Copies of this chain bind each other. A is one copy, B any other.
Amino acid sequence: MIIIPGGVTAPKGFLASGVKAGIKKSGKKDLALICSEVPAVAAGAFTANVFKASPVKVSLKHITHKTHQAVIVNSGNANCANGRAGDRDALSMARFAAETLALKREAVLVASTGIIGRYLPIEKIRKAVPALIGALSEDGGASFAEAIMTTDTKKKEIAVKVKLGGSVVAIGGACKGVGMIYPEIKAAGHATMLCFITTDAAVSKKMLGAALDEAVADSFNMVSVDGDMSTNDMCLVLANGMAGNRRIAAKNRDYAAFASALKFVATELAKKMARDGEGATKFIEIKVTGAKTAADAKDIARKVSTSTLLKCAVFGGDPNWGRVVAAAGASGVAIDPGTVDIYLGGVKVLSNGMTVRGYDLKKAEALFKKDAIDIKVGLKSGKHEATAWTCDLSHKYVEINSEYST
């Protein structure tokens, strides 16, 4: 597998665009489109929040369709808590795209992001759709990635190529999301952020869904900015088969290579979100090892990653690792405190549950001043591990989120 330039238009047969529809007060791009030249199969993962935004409801319905060819996305308005009017508006977004592209409405998926509790300016979107479709291009991936941004400071794209037998398959992705970020898998469904992945691989809808599930569990579902789960989280993947590989229809070797590449793409996008987390000055990786079960490892890693106190300490460059102890102990996992080790980078600060006397405080302080912080929690009670990502909590985060809607 190699990383290649680009994002959602890196795989063969995918076009994309982004335009200004006037939804955002800032006047920035706020309407985006991905289109495959041929019908593609799609899989999706959606927020577990009970207040599902209208575009989530529409996409949950449409995703059961056999094939898809387009995804339309607006930023600046979440179209959430708008009742039937919101549902109608989300459906209209799909319809506008479908009519101009001569597709069935069910072949179009819809996503929205922005403020909750404001009605969607659907007329502005209707008027902008012809320009949006006119702008579709093989080089449109970056424009798409830009138009889905809200408080993001950077476009988030990645693409890779991977060999499957004699064929080369590409996977590209773009995502947004740097606040209200705490996706969570539920028994009843999945939660992710706004993320769009395209691939020219030939793969069955069922295997695509399986690969997406695997990818999401260890990537998006392990990232947190503020612990707030959104009403609009969505991850969609479209596979149009144009790479001409032998179609993946079972969990064989090709599936394994494809799933592994998809997970890489998802993980890189997840990390990009944490790195660009609202107000972030530092990236934090928390690795838990030696857990009894995979679920235990994940629960502890995620709990530590949402510690407001730890995030503030990292912002201040203060190696106050006792906050890791408190968070790990509050995870609900039956940890044996007497076997726990904690490392800040290479510095062991806790050994078998006891503060290491005379540990290298200067080295720990130096680590906490770096722009990527690496924390390890070792449990020595099993073989499972998990990694979670987050960012520090800065003055800028407070600034951004105390001024968002007004």
Contact = CB atoms under 8 A, between A and B. Distances in A.
Contacts of A330: 48-50, 182, 184, 228-229
Interface in A332-376: 333-335, 337, 340, 349-350, 352-355, 357, 365
**A interface bracket (residues with beta carbon within 8 Å of B):** 35 or more
Contacts of A320: 115, 404-406
A354 B115 contact: no
Nearest to A328: B51
A294 interface: no
Given A318-B406, A405-B318, A323 B398 contact: no
Interface stretch (A80-88, A130-138, A142-150, A261-269): A80-88
A255 interface: no
Given A51-B328, A115-B322, A308 B228 contact: yes
Contacts of A83: 352-355
A329 interface: yes
Question: How many copies of the polypeptide does the oligomer hold?
Answer: 2
Interface stretch (A14-22, A28-36, A309-317): A309-317
B406 A229 contact: no
A258 to B, nearest CB: 32
Contact of A308 (B226, B230, B355, B357): B226
B50 A337 contact: yes
Given A229-B326, A355-B117, A350 B309 contact: no
Contacts of A322: 78, 80-81, 115-117, 405
A326 B191 CA distance: 13
Interface in A224-258: 226-231
Given A231-B329, A313-B402, A398-B398, 4 more contacts: A312-B400, A312-B402, A319-B405, A394-B398
28 contacts: A51-B326, A51-B335, A51-B340, A78-B322, A81-B350, A81-B354, A83-B352, A85-B354, A116-B325, A119-B355, A184-B330, A227-B306, A229-B330, A231-B325, A231-B329, A308-B401, A309-B401, A312-B401, A312-B402, A313-B405, A316-B403, A318-B403, A318-B404, A319-B405, A319-B406, A320-B404, A395-B398, A397-B398
